Structure 1
Amino acid sequence: METRQRPKHPLIAELLTSGLSVSAANIATLPMDVLKVRLQLQTAQLAGSPSGLLMTGMHIIRSEGLTGLYRGLNPAVARGLFYGGVRLGCYTPIKTLLGADPEHLSLLRNIAAGSMSGAMAAAASNPMDLVKTQLQAQNSPFHSSSQVIRHVIKNEGLSGLWNGTAPSMTRAAVLTAAQCATYDEVKKAWKRLTGWEDAFPTHLASSLATGLVTTTITAPVDVVKTHMFMGGVHKGQSVLQCAAAIVKRDGMRGLLRGWTAQYVRLGPQTTVIFVVMEPLRKLSGLDAL
């Protein structure tokens, strides 16, 4: 039986492995994140904006070059290291603190742990997410993170950097709970049904299924969050008011706007996160997820 040396500082190891995994995933899927933001804000932009994933991507390349697909790279990496590190790095410690529930209650424990770690990470890293979204918006007047920060503080004060915190926390709680709890349960079921070991093929299959579930659950919250980062349909709206305005204007389908781009991004992102994190955890002496 393989003997694994435990890390001296397990929490730091959790945060580092998670942060590096999420940053790698953010870099790999950033073009899809840009497309998702453009599609979600499409009706809020100028008339004549291209529709659909492919047309939007071609329009960005023609008008902004390939670099247009990587707008917001710096805050995306910084957010991955910090937000991703806390969001996923605190999941296992919180799950452990909640105790070893009986098998039939483990899913509820995992959902609670994911919700807590996700909401905590989102509240702390909201300015990075806001900056990234404003840089990625179509016809954005900003060229750097510092420009966005100065503009927001000048016009809305320091608290303006926390616009959209409520939907951001909600999305992060739902996202982390969906990702981690689904991955936990799917991996256990997959190993039981196939007899496969806890290795790359199992990680890949489990993370692919997790990406589909996670995208569908988080899509409506993500649309609302994106609109609120850009000032909402009308500035000063609450989460529910913003969601109601979107539904009134675009119907229920408006809450799923950009779903394809979100899945094309979040599916591979979820896969990259877990297939990178699992070996990193092994190298650092942490238990498998």
Structure 2
Amino acid sequence: MPPKKEKPIHSLIAGTTAGAIEAFITYPTEFVKTTSQFGGKREPPITIIRNTLKTKGITGLYSGCTALVVGNSVKAGVRFVSYDHFKHMLADSEGKVSSGRSLLAGLGAGVTEAVFAVTPSETIKTKLIDDAKNPNPRFRGLIHGTVTIVREEGLRGVYRGLFPVMMRQGANSAVRFTTYTTLKQFVQSNAPPGQSLPSSITFGIGAIAGLVTVYTTMPLDVIKTRMQSLSARQQYRNSFHCGYRIFTEEGISRFWTGTTPRLVRLMLSGGIVFTTYENIIRLIGGREEEL
């Protein structure tokens, strides 16, 4: 039977829906991770949660959430469409993709999503979280914050940290998709022909992909957060200078600050996104026979 591929429009629908759902469910872990990565006193995740609830209430854990939900839905849509495109472009005559080619497809998808979706949404989200720490925040919400940032800093203001974001997203997608695809193919090769994987198995594979992704890309995530903070222009000349200062002034362990909340988020994220995506694709009949 000829291999099947995802229809681009269905891949887009499934990807954006999965991304929005995942972002809202896991946002508090993203808030804690981002807050812990700013410069200054190191605080354990539980302390950040306790202090935020005490001063801002439950809504404080969702500061900047709208920016991430919108950005994450667009990001996931772009990621799956571009990954599917690169994957089928790199597939062999039988429609199979080796681990090396899957890595390249994931890298291409990550760079694409970084440029079109991740950098603007991540920059705005990071600035909103940084601003929310102040007793009298300047930004009243996503729209007001975005308008203020663009008015004061121009488009560069929402594209600050583009290089580390491209590096992080490229590495994220390359590692995540390669791990997911490799594990999925292994499990399917030991399953009865034509049988769909249960959602629990898909969730588990996605969670493992998230686990591997976190530990391999954490330094890039820390540099990205620092470069997108409100004080970045006064502290760092570029991403390399930022990385150098973190290493020399704070030590190598600082590059893995926020690992625990990011690990929780990406394990849940991997499970939620891939499970939601696969189920929506199956529901709307989003795979067609390869010509």
| TM class by smaller structure | 0.7 to 0.9
SS across alignment from 2:138: coil
Counterpart position of 1:132: 125
Would the aligned equivalents of 1:224 and 1:239 in 2 still touch at CA under 8 Å? yes
2:159 corresponds to 1:162: yes
CA distance in 1, matches of 2:48, 2:236: 29
Stretch moving more, 134-143 or 211-220? 134-143
Q: Deviations over 1:31-54 (max 9, x none)?
A: 00000001111x34xx5x7x1011
Counterpart position of 2:183: 186
Structure 1 length as normaliser, TM-score?
Answer: 0.88
Counterpart position of 1:281: 281
Would the aligned equivalents of 1:32 and 1:264 in 2 still touch at CA under 8 Å? yes
Counterpart position of 1:241: 241
> How many angstroms does 1:254 deviate by?
0.7
Counterpart position of 1:218: 217
The structure 2 residue matched to 1:15, chosen from 12, 17, 26, is: 12
Residue type of the alignment partner of 1:265: R
> How many angstroms does 1:185 deviate by?
0.4
Task: Rate the CA distance shift 1:17–1:235 in 2: closer, same or farther, 3 A.
Answer: same
Counterpart position of 2:253: 253
CA distance in 2, matches of 1:227, 1:54: 21
2:32 corresponds to 1:35: yes
1:95-114 map, 5 Å: 95-100=87-92, 106-114=98-106
Number of aligned residues: 278
CA distance in 2, matches of 1:65, 1:199: 38
Would the aligned equivalents of 2:236 and 2:242 in 1 still touch at CA under 8 Å? no
2:139 corresponds to 1:146: no
Would the aligned equivalents of 2:87 and 2:97 in 1 still touch at CA under 8 Å? no
CA distance in 2, matches of 1:112, 1:245: 31
Q: Which runs of 5+ in 1 are unaligned?
A: none
> How many angstroms does 1:235 deviate by?
4.2
2:85 corresponds to 1:86: no
> How many angstroms does 1:246 deviate by?
0.8
> How many angstroms does 1:21 deviate by?
0.5
